[in-house]
């Protein structure tokens, strides 16, 4: 649960950083802010995944590296990607109806 909240915060930081960059520049530099948020999530997840792979597991835990990588990195990223795709699909469907 904590990893999902962490990656959601990273997504919104990337999304609003793209929006702020567009406001500061006075024109549209980054057209799709959702993709900018996903790029931020992917970059942080690659660093996080490397950290999980390169460090040794804590003592007293039987979890392997693949379990930690899947549960704390891959699963939250997949959930965020599915949510962004769903919201994009809903927005496109709303525009088609009007």
Domain boundaries, the chain: 2-97
Helix (H), strand (E) at residue 96: helix 75-97
Q: How many angstroms separate the most distant Cα atoms in the chain? A: 58
The pLDDT tens digits along the chain (98 residues) read: 899 999 999 999 999 999 999 999 999 999 999 999 999 999 999 999 999 999 887 777 767 888 889 999 999 999 999 999 999 999 887 777 76
pTM: predicted TM-score of the whole model, two decimal places = 0.87
Picking from 42, 2, 34, the residue whose alpha carbon sits closest to that of residue 18 is 34
């Amino acid at each position: 649960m904590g990893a999902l909240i962490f990656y959601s915060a990273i997504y919104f930081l990337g999304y609003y950083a793209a929006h702020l960059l567009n406001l500061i520049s006075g024109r549209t530099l980054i057209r799709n802010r959702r993709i900018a948020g996903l790029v931020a999530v992917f970059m942080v997840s690659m660093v996080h995944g490397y950290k999980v792979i390169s460090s040794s597991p804590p003592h007293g835990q039987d979890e392997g590296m693949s379990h930690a990588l899947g549960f704390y990195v891959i699963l939250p990223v997949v959930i965020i990607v599915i949510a962004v795709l769903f919201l994009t699909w809903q927005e496109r469907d709303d525009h088609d109806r009007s």
